[in-house]
Structure formats: C-alpha cells, structure tokens
Structure 1
Amino acid sequence: MSNPWGEEQPFTISLDGAQWAYGTPLADVKRLAAHWKDGFDWRASETRINALPMYTRDIEVDGFGTLNVHYLHQRSKVKNRFLAVLHGWPGHFLEVEKMLPLLTTASSDQPSFHVVAPSLPNFGFSEGVKKPGFHEQHYIEVLHKVMLSLGYEEYVYQGGDWGHVLGASLVTRYGVKHVKAWHTNLPIMEPPKLFSNPILYLEMIFKLPFDQVAKQRLAHLHKHVTTGRGYMLEQATKPQTVGYGVTDSPVGLLGWVYEKLVGWTDAYPWTDDEVLEWVSLHWIYYELSRGGTSSFGGQGDKWMPIPLGVSYFPKEIFQFPYSWSHQLGKYVYAGYHDKGGHFAAFEQPEALAGDLRNMYKKGGLRMGWSREKRFTYDRLLKRMKQK
C-alpha cells in the first residue's frame, strides 16, 4: 500500500488552526524530531549526567525477586536530615538535579540534607518488572529498602505526582518509626466526609460557595479531569496498546510526553535539548493504578501524626481547596507561589527547595499552620480582581 502523503511525509496530518487543542502540534514534533536526529548531542547530556553521584543496588522485592534499582545519592557536607525525593510521571530522577546544590550546601541558618532520588522500577536506569501485579506497596518497599541499605533508618520525604501518592502510602506503612516527616507539591485527597472530618465537611457545605479562591482551584481541577486526563485512563487500563506506539516509535514517545511538558508547566521556556534529554530518559508504566481499579489517592489517604508540608504552585494540574490538605496529616507548613506548575523541582527549584529548608529549619516543624495563611486568601483575591 502506497503512502498517500508521499515519501517525504512520515508524520500524521494536522488540522489547520488546531494548535494544542488536539494534542502536540505537528510543527513542534517535526522540529524536535529533526533536531533529535541531526542536532541533539546525547553524549554531552550523558557526560553531565554521569558526573552526578549515581549508583545502582540490588533490592529484593516481595514476590518479584531482585530488581536492580538506580538512584542518585548526594551527601551534604554536614550531618543533617536524610531526604528521599521521588519523581512522578512523566518524570525521572533528573527532576531533582537543579535542587541538589540548594539542598546539600552547608548553611549556618538553613538545614542541609543528604538527598536520595531513586528511579522507580520501569523508569530510567532502574530495572523493569517482568510480571504483572507490581503495585503501590512494592514501589514503596523498594524506596524504603534503598534508604535502609544506605544506613538511613530515619528519614524525611518529598514527592509530587505519583511521588505524592507513593509518599502517602510510604507514610502510612513506615511513618513514625522510619519516615519522620513528609512534604508534597501535589496534595491529592477526597472531599471531606461528615463523620471523618466534620469541621472541613461543614466548611465545604456552608463556606465553599463563597470562597472564590477555592472555587477557582476546583474549576481548574474540573477542567483537567474533563479535558486532560485521557492519557491516564489509557495508561491505567490498556497500557500495552499505547505501549506499542511509544516504544516502537521515538517520535510517538516524543509526541506523547512533550504535550505534558508544555501543558503542565507554567510557561516554562523549554529548550529543544531539555525536551529531548527528558524524553530520552523516559519510560511509561502501568501497575500503580492496579489496572484502573483503584482511586488516584491510593491506599495512603490516611491521616498520620507526622509533620506534613505542602507547596502550592498555580499551574499544578490537580488543585483542591487549601484547607482540605489537613486530611493528609499533621499539617505544619504551607508554601504559596506565584509561578510554577507540575514539575516544580525542574521549573522552580529555588522555590521548592526554599519550602523544604523553611519547613525543616529550627522551629519549623513546631510552628503549626503557616502564619501566612491568614494573609494569603486576601492576597490571592486581590490578585484575581486585578486580572
């Protein structure tokens, strides 16, 4: 069968004026694919990446044998807290790269961390799982065993996207004894219920209709759920079907991931090299959602009595009323930001690292709810009116 578009057109067709409405624009994919083929210097990226303190370790996983797990491990020059940082989708361990010098540098007035950033199994340089059934509890088992193998019996945690979901499960299973505090930049939770959270429930019923900030956040969430979640349903239910396209075709993978890099960030000025390096390291996965049968929050949606900090970025895809974060744990710190999206560690490393330093500095875990909260709603409302 002949190619109806001729030998010079290996790509899909594009609708005039569609821009991003139907997904990644054809012109962008053509430009990136051409640069990937003839201009992108993977060896330069490889040299920079190899200069990072990376390691691999065999981890025994219950029911799955031994997996070779890749992780980044940057030690601070001072003895301080041990921080595990976990990426999400479509991310990888390099999301933490820009924050490493910020988190590990010694300071007289700010805490410093030993940072461990693993690649989840099926991602990057970690070994892939060979049989179905690798779920949440197995991912957090891997992370916890990596930390124990490094001698970190007690540690704190940070994550966004699936890093949040796994963090909530990690805290539920290993909190108090091992995980001493945690931080998320993508707080996800169910609406409060009358008997489990009566005050938040009554606030939702009687106060929410008049809370312009909360309504704006829920409208943002609704837009994402109704128009931007198709990828998740496909990957969570029939991943092998889409897998043929994104594993057989580099251009297919490029189009699949690039859409999220642009759509989920806050006007981040991606360079073509940044995009191509990101895509080159990427791999999609399936089992976290148990084949589409579990809630996005997973088994970890349980209040735990260890300190919790949250960072809020305006272009994050999942947005809930700020007060609902109290359902996740002992809410001690909140950071509000004017710019940033889903890949906060990559887009706004200074802001996210700043929140972690502020949360864990002397007295930070004892301050209760951030004192800035009472000013924040007024500030946001004023900003909305100005727009």
Structure 2
Amino acid sequence: MTATPKPFRIHVSDEKLNWINDRVRTSTVIPDVPHDKGKEWDDGVPSSVMQEYVDFWRETYDWRAEEARINSTFEMFTVPIEEGGETIDLHFVHHRSASPSAVPLLFAHGWPGSFLEVESLLKLTASEGDFPGFHIIAPSLPGFAFSSSPQSSEFSLGSIASIYHKLMKTLGYDHYLLQGGDWGSLITRIMAMDHPDACVGIHINFLIAGIPSPLREPLTTMRFAAGYFRDTLRLKLGLKWLNGSESGFSKIQATKPQTISQVLADSPVGMLAWIFDKLHALSDPAYEWDKARVITWTTTYLLTESSAHARIYKYARRKMDKEVSSRIIPAEVALGASAFAHDPGYAPQWLVSARIGKNVVFYNDTHKVGGHFPSVEVPDLFIADLKSFVGRVRNGDRWKLLEGKLN
C-alpha cells in the first residue's frame, strides 16, 4: 500500500537551539599564520573570516526568523519509503503548478548543499509562453536535513535513485524530468539509466565523466590524451582540483565518516568552518555568500545528528563504477548539460556524449561566471539553461509522455 505524504514544518526544539547557541557563544576562533596576498585561504577558512561569522552568529543571526521564513517559503512533506529492507522517512519540497501544461521536475542536491538550493526555481511553477511550468519536487538526501538516515551497510547512490523514483510514483508522476548537481547529478544519472521508461529528460550541472577506458573506448581515450583540443586543459584542471588540493574533505569522509561526523556534530563553529571552506572553494570567487544563508545551511547539518552526510562519500564510492562510471544514459532519455566557469566538475561535449549520455540535446560551457551552486550563485543563467533544455526536450517524440499524465 502506498504511503500518503504528510505536511511538514520545521520546529527545532528550544533545548537543541539553546545547545547550539551556547556552543557558539563559548567557541574559540584559533589564530592563523601569515599568508601572502591571494593565498589567505590556502590552509582553510582564515581566522579573520571565521571571527566575522562567529560574531554574526552570536549577535545578529536568528534561527527562529530563518525557520519561519523557510516554513512560509517551502511546501514541505515527509513520506516513508521502503528500500533495501529498511524504511527512509523522506523529507521533500513539493510545489504543484496550477498550469494544466506543467510537467514534473525533480531537483536533486548534494553536499554541502541542501533542499534550500531549489528556492530560486519555485517561481517556475508558472507557465510562460512556450514554457509549460514545473511541478517542483526537491527531496533532502537520506540523512540530510530532515530525512531519516539509512542504516544498511549496502546503501548506495543506487538506493537513493530508487527512493527518488518511488517518491515520484507515490506523487502520481509516472514520467518526469530530472535536474542534478554534485551528488544529485550522479543520482539522477542512475535514475535515468535505471528507469528510462519514466525519465524523459535529465539536466545536470556537475559533469563528471571520468577518464575513459583504453580498452572500452579507444577513440575517446585518444582524444582525451591529445593536448591540442581546447577543452582538455580545463578538464585536466578540474580533475586535478577534485583529486588534489581540495580533496582532503572527501578523503576523510570516505574513510572515517563516523569520526569526522562526531567531531562536527559537537561543534557548530567546526561544522561552519567545514562547510564554508567548500562553499568558498567551489563557488565563483566574485560571489559573496550571505552570512545568514551559510549559517542556516550549517544548522541543517547540525540537526541531522547522524554521520549520513559524511558517510555518503563512503557508500557511494564503493559502487561508483558499477552504478555510474561503467554505464551511459540511453538514447531515449534526453540529456542537457551546463558547465559553469568555476565548477571543477567539467567535461567537454564530446566526452559527455561518449561517457555520460548518448542523446545530448543541450550543452552549454560558455558561462563566464558561476560555480558549483548555480541555482544560488547565478539563478538567472541557471534557469535560462534549464528552460532551453526543456525547449529541446519538447521537440522530441517522448514529450507527449509528460502531457496529461498528472494526477
């Protein structure tokens, strides 16, 4: 029997909120060492920046005001979904459009993001011209924000993809579109590969194609290795970033998720430093993060009281090749891809076609601004790409599957 979603509103207990505020009030910002100009972030979040944030948290930030704003902005629900012998109580945003032509779009976030990244898309429930409007669904990853944490050692990205597909079926969406960034880009790719009958199109903005196999993809390997292709340097720089100077966090979370989660769960300021270090590194250098936004994102991680937000790096990589890397999205699913200038997840169009999806209907790597969080950093550009992708999908034969199939 299919479970019925229940409306959800955030209300952090006074006890938990007082504990967080007390920890922030009594925290210590440790001194930094001198750095050359332009190198201030080389060792992590500078102490001067941390002090600004801690002072703001102590003196100005108001969680109750943020809580009220989130509750008034997002229509939220929870629903129990069985997967792999356990039940995940999944938290999700669901904004139904009043437009009769609207189609369902699932927005999938990653780390260190949250369902809050979908806010700029909520206005897309309205149809306009040729744009049909979206029914917007944005789940919180299992173990993130207000979704319960998986307990099985066999849990994987494929498990999340299955849960998200079941969510769409529960909501009455037999066919749908997908959008994903960070872990969400990989999860939605799995959904498109596992359920091509349901997934009509997928748009991603974190383009992880990996290194091609000389045995399976000799021509792609030759092109990848050739130094005269203009995209190769950008591709190599992205891989170097992901596997080099900025990869320490992922190595720790992929090997000792319980240890680092215990450390962070007991220190709100530590969690802030851990998250903001990557928000800064992954975004456009010209983008200025709003202090309240960063602290709100940090607080959602403190509220999980589990290691799932770190553990995803361990259970995902265990099956990465089987679930993602060795597979390709079939031709019946339309693929759109956007590469923003400061996102290390990059692949040129020829590599996207060779290793991610067979039917690339939209590709844009001309953005001069934006980073890993385009729906937050450059929402207008992000939405323009998403609408262009939808326009291309509407020209395909399978668009009719999305029409007239909504409950």
- TM-score for both structures, normalised by structure 1: 0.85
* Of 86, 91, 106, the match for 1:84: 106
- What is the letter of the counterpart of residue 341 of structure 2? P
Task: Give the superposition deviation at 1:94.
Answer: 0.6
What are the residue-to-residue correspondences of 1:213-362 with 2, within 5 Å? 213-266=231-284, 267-282=286-301, 284-290=309-315, 293-295=318-320, 299-301=323-325, 302-303=327-328, 304-305=330-331, 306-326=333-353, 327-329=355-357, 330-336=359-365, 337-361=367-391
Cα distance in 1 for residues equivalent to 2:230 and 2:154: 43
Asked if 1 retains the 8 angstrom alpha-carbon contact of 2:261 and 2:310, the reply is no
Contact 1:254–1:279 under 8 Å retained in 2: yes
Tell me which amino acid in the other structure corresponds to 2:311: Y
Structure 1 position 116, deviation (Å): 0.3
The aligned counterpart of 1:182 is 202
After TM superposition, give the deviation of residue 342 of structure 1 in Å. Answer: 0.5
- SS of equivalent residue, structure 2 residue 310: coil
Q: CA 1:194–1:88 in 2, change beyond 3 Å: closer, same or farther?
A: same
Partner of 1:149: 170
Deviations 1:256-280 (Å, cap 9, x if unpaired)? 0011111110021112111111211
Q: Which runs of 4+ in 1 moved over 6 A?
A: none
Task: Report the 3-state secondary structure (helix = DSSP H, G, I; strand = E; otherwise coil) of the residue aligned with 1:227.
Answer: coil
State the secondary structure of the residue aligned to 1:243.
helix
1:158 touches 1:167 (CA, 8 Å); kept in 2? yes
The 2-side partners of 1:310 and 1:291 are apart by: 22
- Which residue matches 1:120? 141
User: How far did residue 322 of structure 1 move?
Assistant: 3.2
Counterpart amino acid of residue 369 in structure 2: K
Q: Amino acid of the residue matched to residue 299 of structure 1? A: E
Matched with 1:69 is 90
Residues 247 and 253, structure 1, Cα contact 8 Å, conserved in 2: yes
After TM superposition, give the deviation of residue 194 of structure 1 in Å.
4.5
Deviation at 1:298, TM superposition (A): 5.9
The residue matched to 2:227 in structure 1 has which SS?
helix
Give CA deviations for 1:157-197 in whole Å, capped at 9, x if unaligned.
1101100111121112112x111111100111222335544
Q: 1:49 aligns with which of 38, 50, 70?
A: 70
Alpha-carbon distance in structure 2 between the residues aligned to 1:9 and 1:43:
21
- 1:93 equivalent among 79, 96, 115: 115
| Residues 80 and 111 in structure 1, CA contact (< 8 A), matched pair in contact too | yes
Range with bigger deviation, 24-33 or 253-262: 24-33
TM-aligned CA distance change 1:9 to 1:68, over 3 Å: closer
2:12 aligned residue: none
**Equivalent in 30, 39, 43 of residue 22 of structure 1:** 43
Kept in 2: contact 1:233–1:292 (CA 8 A): no
The alpha-carbon deviation at position 231 of structure 1 amounts to 0.4
Letter of the 2:115 counterpart:
F
Q: Deviations over 1:38-58 (max 9, x none)?
A: 210112211111011111111
What percentage of aligned pairs have identical amino acids? 30
Hey, what's the Cα distance between the residues in 2 that align with 1:223 and 1:291? 20
What SS does the corresponding residue of 1:340 show, helix, strand or coil? coil
**TM-score (normalised: structure 2):** 0.81
SS in 2 for 1:56: strand
Q: Cα deviations across residues 291-350 of structure 1 (Å, max 9, x unaligned)?
A: 75444x661232222110000101002223332100211111112312100011111111
Query: What stretches of structure 1 of length at least 5 have no aligned partner?
Result: 1-7, 368-387
Aligned with 2:211 (options 191, 207, 211): 191
Alignment partner, residue 3 of structure 1: none
**In structure 1, distance between residues paired with 2:393 and 2:178:** 18
Is the contact made by 1:333 and 1:365 (CA closer than 8 Å) also made in structure 2? no
Q: How many equivalent residue pairs?
A: 354
Q: Which amino acid aligns with 1:87?
A: H
Instruction: Verify the 8 A CA contact 2:91 2:140 in the aligned structure 1.
Output: yes
Q: Aligned equivalents of 1:308 and 1:259: distance in 2?
A: 31
- 1:201, CA displacement in angstroms? 3.1
CA distance in structure 1 between the aligned counterparts of 2:393 and 2:319, rounded to whole angstroms: 38
1:200 offset after TM fit, Å? 2.6
Alignment of 1:161-172 (within 5 A): 161-172=182-193
Corresponding letter in the other structure for 2:168? M
Give deviations 1:51-70, integer Å, cap 9, x for gaps.
Answer: 11111111122222x22111
Q: Which residue in 1 is equivalent to 2:30? A: 12
* Paired residue type of 1:29: M
Are the counterparts in 1 of residues 334 and 393 from structure 2 also a CA contact under 8 Å?
no
